[in-house]
Structure 1
């Protein structure tokens, strides 16, 4: 919404500077997107009259002019403009004038003839981008008056960025009404009197679609001069509102639309047949629009038509065949209210828009429809002449203005202000809102120009705007802040992140919505009952919620490999999503936090001090054990859709599975074009955070006794099974049992293997004797023989 400041101040003129007025509007919710002068700075330019024009003796394209600048003494000025002529009134820059572009006018000789000034075009004054000659002023322009004053060039142009709910401010009337309500300054709104009928001619109006068009006013005006020139003040206001002057009749309807907010349309009455109908489009109906575009109209488009043909897309654009031209003498003037739902989206559907549709789809003041047609008639008769017939009005049920209740106590609580009933009543009166007081409550009936007042919060917003957001106190929040106690049995997330970073991993953050293919590959979920699909994904490849973090890590690895990174360590901490009808707080969905990691490339960075070895299962296993230390983990065989069937394990803590570990499945390594299978792990983050509270244990002052023990057992016997069997059977002196060698081959029977253990024995109270140590070893060997048929290796 663009308009000139001088036009606005003709309706309401608060004692505020332009910048202060701009701030006032912005803080009232009518954001001023731009405030700019209508012309650049220049000075010493006046209205002048050309008295005489003589060809320059030494230049074919120059003229020597005698110019009256209002001082009583004509000035001689050399001018090269093609349209200079005696009798014209034009702008004249006097010696010393400073024009846009740092151009200063001086007394100079042009081809030997002295020139005391310069006759100016609109481009030279900076008020037009192009100009073919001098700016011709009206014949009644006062000679000697400053051109800035005459053309009102000290004016400013406001551009408002309105939200869709403030359609009432798409007019000077609406903006002036807002400023008057906020500042308390009296408004000088246009007074529109009913234009008496000078002729009896009418054209009937029929509402065939009353829900879409509940009000239609029409009037015949005859004997107009469509070629009449509009006044300069009107043309200037239109141009400063961003509307190009076209012809008198079109300019008048545009002017009334800007002034009152009511779009109008003018038909050539001679081209109409019978009554004017507001109806829905007929099947296969086509219309040639004023923009020279022929459209096939859909059935849900509201049309204006006569008895024979369609005339216009209602509230959007008129038809070419019924439009007025410079030859039009009789016209039919339309002013109507179209329901916003009947107009919204129709123009965009056909790839264009209009000022009318922009207003109608947001809501036009249906209480001002009759006033707008009277105002337009008044201007047409003043500028174009003619005689007007009576207004024909057809109406149906108008939009309901349902009262909205406002509780004073709630408004004060929401805004944090001690408003009081009288203050609220005064604010509502300033907005011309009709209300009824019921104790401390207000029952407010929204006016016809406000379509955004439906609930109590809308009225509270109005109070805040009028009271002034700047005036609402913003006290700093106050409250007691206590340092929360960190549970000793729980590690903070940052500590776990730091531990991984210390081991060479870098954190990544990926989207929680992923490709459906990732879920099939890395989680084995492909059925619609298994996938959690998004109702409105931001992209087709981000259509489902992840149940594992593996997909994002593999994608990160692929990206790094494309950038020639040959050693990659990544981890991510994030939520995964699973269907669970009993889950809370989001019913039906379980959203646990998971920590996942990936290792690819060399086990160690390349260096002269270490050999080249690829990272393997056991490297990452060591990282996981370090994360959960001092807890004792167990690892069991696992089949997982993302992992190698023979190189994957579930991770158990206190008998409960808390995650998985393994190499990427060869099929996926090939599918994602990976030169080497990375090692992946995923852990339950809650289990990672939980740690045992440290318990004091006395450190022995006495030396340990270390013995090695090599036994032969069945080849299929798992080490973990053997260690579990020893639990509770170990002699009291034995503090630790560590496997340090596994051997098969010469000296060991077929289907057998040799396991070598290091046995650590110690007592906190005394030094152990050899006899005690030998007895403990005999008890340990006996236990192994009985439980696992183990034999001492010879």
Structure 2
């Protein structure tokens, strides 16, 4: 919403030195967002009013060129004249214009000089509104009203270049601020200055209707007003002051009738529509459209109407899409002398849907979808009729159509001290009643049976958003000033820090990030189609999901029961944008619904729920454990002079789980398993004790194909809440003694899991065996059929001394003996 400061000042008793910045600060102080303050006084140098004394038409050029003698000062007997070349043709001799004399600098640092052009010497420039920076019209120059100023007068004040424009971002709940009326009232409250309501005009009583109107759907239209003005001169120009205000507000001048409706809309907040009364056939009906009906709107487009659309009809059918755009058949044209002014109050939700359905945003629709004051409709039509009669030489016909009965706002009662309680501030006596009265509420103060002071506020017709005590509290607090509410940080009790679960989450995140994984925040919703692509069985617990009532996307409207869909979608999106080597992880909650969800109790909002109700609400919540998941694709190690690199594999996904377990301070038991969406032969199950905590491995090829993922994409997911908390989280231990590095290759039956063999080797090696790492797997003729060779790198070290060769060999042999005992392993020659 753009509004000139001078227009606002018309309705306020402001001090002469009140600046635009002061008004902007006042808006911000009471909760309105100011986007920009623009001062128009960017013209430097001699800018004066001139009178065109003589025009010479230069016909030797392809386009119209005029050589004008313009009086720019002096006396009537001895005028100071300048000769100026001008290409505009919208003025005649005797017209008052704005002249930029040599030395003037116009917006855009355009300097005016005397120069020779078109074979004549031009001593200045006759300006258009765009060149002055007060409009967008560049087709013709600005012609001032006769008698508005004498030649030679400084044009800055005449044109309004001493004005400023404030641009505000109006929130959806404050539709009344889309008008000078609403914004001036807000400034009056913020600055505590007197306010003159532009809607406080006398409306003559009209006993008969100007035209019959029938409202068939009262839910779509609560009030409809017609006012007729006949004998309007369609060629009458819009006065400069009105065109200027419209231009500064961002609205282009079209014709007097259209400009008047736009002007009144900006002034009072009530959108108007001007009809050519001669083109309207018969009585008017307001109703919902029927399926298949068509309407050609003012933009020349034939639109197929929806049964939800509200339309205005005459005997020929729909002639206007109510609240959105008028119809072409009743448009005001160059021969329209009989104007019918319409002001109505439409259902905001219906208008909002129609705007989006037909892609027809407009200034009128912007106001209707936020709610318009139903009481101002007769005032708006009367104001517009008076302006048309005054500037278009029209006659206001007797009679006004006014049908419909808008519902009165419901009173809201609250304790007088409720704003004090909410803000934690002790306001002066009478502040609540005074502030509510300022915004237009009718106030009644009473006392409850318990002796508590109450205030009953009846909201004004322009504030449909005031429906509960919290709304009234907000009004009191914002008008008193949010800056008056102290900001006090609660003191933290001593001896407390992060919880154990928080510390573990941070440790896990750091560990994965240290291993080269990038943390992402995927979309927390998924869809049944995605679960199908993951290959989950019908009885899989992960298929028990909860749908959200207000899902952002129809295809993804259920809460995720696993982190993999969101992570895999993020992976696929990155691959589509050129990334090939990816290692991503996410740590977050999933929602696991029960087979028979418990009944959720209904809890009101007027008072605090009881402890029993709160307990029942908690009991009705589904399980929401914290999971950690990772996905890999592409290369895990990049190629270079150091080697060929390595692709990510199922082993990396398993190692990611081990990294998580190490950061959490627990040991994982790893075993082969078969669970979707992993490959049956490349899937590992993780346990802590007897509890299964997760899975990892390579995704099934069908899953990879269905989701459009890179080949051999791998994934890991652990239920972090199922992992027991331990105080023995690993801390870095730096030994001052050198390690002894030994390799051992053991031949075992091909059915022996490598993880089981590694665990036996680790336990057999004793305390000196610091680390066991599998680095090679071989199966072939050299080890025999049904056998495989597993090569391990052993790192041995003592915490208090340097190991001798004999001690290292003894520990290695003990590890080999343990492998022989458990798996009948043999050393590979």
- Aligned-pair RMSD on alpha carbons? 5.6
Task: Name the CA shift for 1:586/1:519 in 2 (closer, same or farther; >3 Å).
Answer: farther
User: Does the CA-based 8 Å contact 1:547-1:576 persist in structure 2?
Assistant: yes
Distance 1:315 1:556 in 2: 43
Alignment of 1:98 with 2:105, yes or no, is yes
Structure 2 match to 1:10: 10
Alignment of 1:575 with 2:589, yes or no, is yes
Task: Name the CA shift for 1:108/1:343 in 2 (closer, same or farther; >3 Å).
Answer: closer
User: Does the CA-based 8 Å contact 1:98-1:105 persist in structure 2?
Assistant: yes
Structure 2 match to 1:495: 507
Q: 1:412 aligns with which of 408, 420, 433?
A: 420
Q: Residue by residue, what CA displacement relative to the aligned partner does 1:636-689 show, whole Å, maximum 9, x if unpaired?
A: 453333445455553343333333455555666788899985776544424555
User: Does the CA-based 8 Å contact 2:701-2:711 persist in structure 1?
Assistant: no
Alignment of 1:24 with 2:35, yes or no, is no
Distance 1:299 1:490 in 2: 54
CA offset at residue 467 of structure 1? 1.1
Q: How does 1:159-558 map to 2 (within 5 A)?
A: 159-190=167-198, 192-195=201-204, 202-281=210-289, 285-306=293-314, 309-341=317-349, 343-439=351-447, 440-470=453-483, 472-484=484-496, 492-499=504-511, 510-514=522-526, 519-520=531-532, 524-526=536-538, 530-532=543-545, 534-535=547-548, 545-549=559-563
Structure 2 match to 1:765: none
Q: How does 1:9-88 map to 2 (within 5 A)?
A: 9-15=9-15, 16-38=18-40, 40-52=42-54, 63=67, 65=69, 67-70=71-74, 73-75=78-80, 77-82=82-87, 87-88=94-95
Distance 2:752 2:134 in 1: 96
- The two structures have a TM-score, normalised by structure 2, of 0.73
Q: Residue by residue, what CA displacement relative to the aligned partner does 1:174-197 show, whole Å, maximum 9, x if unpaired?
A: 222222232221223345334588
- The two structures have a TM-score, normalised by structure 1, of 0.76
Q: Residue by residue, what CA displacement relative to the aligned partner does 1:600-640 show, whole Å, maximum 9, x if unpaired?
A: 89998879999999888788778866865786654445333
Q: 1:143 aligns with which of 146, 151, 165?
A: 151
Distance 1:239 1:79 in 2: 27
SS of alignment partner, residue 11 of structure 1: coil
Distance 2:566 2:357 in 1: 39
Structure 1 match to 2:675: 640
Distance 1:543 1:620 in 2: 29
Distance 2:104 2:750 in 1: 107
Structure 1 match to 2:737: none
CA offset at residue 334 of structure 1? 3.3
Structure 1 match to 2:812: none
Structure 2 match to 1:685: 720
Distance 2:652 2:239 in 1: 88
Q: 1:592 aligns with which of 605, 625, 630?
A: 625
Q: What is the number of equivalent residue pairs in this alignment? A: 754
Distance 1:214 1:609 in 2: 79
Unpaired stretches in structure 2, ≥5 consecutive residues: 448-452, 599-616, 730-746, 795-816
User: Does the CA-based 8 Å contact 1:68-1:143 persist in structure 2?
Assistant: yes
Of 269-278 and 147-156, the range deviating more from structure 2 = 269-278
Q: How does 1:599-614 map to 2 (within 5 A)?
A: none
Distance 1:227 1:556 in 2: 62
User: Does the CA-based 8 Å contact 1:157-1:240 persist in structure 2?
Assistant: yes
Of 170-179 and 17-26, the range deviating more from structure 2 = 170-179
CA offset at residue 345 of structure 1? 2.4
User: Does the CA-based 8 Å contact 1:265-1:334 persist in structure 2?
Assistant: yes
Distance 1:622 1:224 in 2: 85
Of 179-188 and 350-359, the range deviating more from structure 2 = 350-359
SS of alignment partner, residue 444 of structure 1: strand
User: Does the CA-based 8 Å contact 1:48-1:70 persist in structure 2?
Assistant: no
Distance 1:463 1:490 in 2: 40
User: Does the CA-based 8 Å contact 2:693-2:722 persist in structure 1?
Assistant: yes
Q: Residue by residue, what CA displacement relative to the aligned partner does 1:479-523 show, whole Å, maximum 9, x if unpaired?
A: 134243788999733334455566666656544445756645657
Of 458-467 and 252-261, the range deviating more from structure 2 = 252-261
Distance 1:743 1:370 in 2: 92
Task: Name the CA shift for 1:468/1:41 in 2 (closer, same or farther; >3 Å).
Answer: farther
SS of alignment partner, residue 578 of structure 1: coil
SS of alignment partner, residue 579 of structure 1: coil
Distance 1:35 1:320 in 2: 38
CA offset at residue 455 of structure 1? 0.8
User: Does the CA-based 8 Å contact 1:224-1:386 persist in structure 2?
Assistant: yes
User: Does the CA-based 8 Å contact 1:290-1:317 persist in structure 2?
Assistant: yes
User: Does the CA-based 8 Å contact 2:40-2:133 persist in structure 1?
Assistant: no
Structure 2 match to 1:777: none
CA offset at residue 437 of structure 1? 0.5
Q: Residue by residue, what CA displacement relative to the aligned partner does 1:301-360 show, whole Å, maximum 9, x if unpaired?
A: 444344565443333333333344443444444333334355442243333244333333
Q: Residue by residue, what CA displacement relative to the aligned partner does 1:358-390 show, whole Å, maximum 9, x if unpaired?
A: 333332222222222332333333233444343
Structure 2 match to 1:708: none
SS of alignment partner, residue 22 of structure 2: helix
Task: Name the CA shift for 1:223/1:562 in 2 (closer, same or farther; >3 Å).
Answer: closer
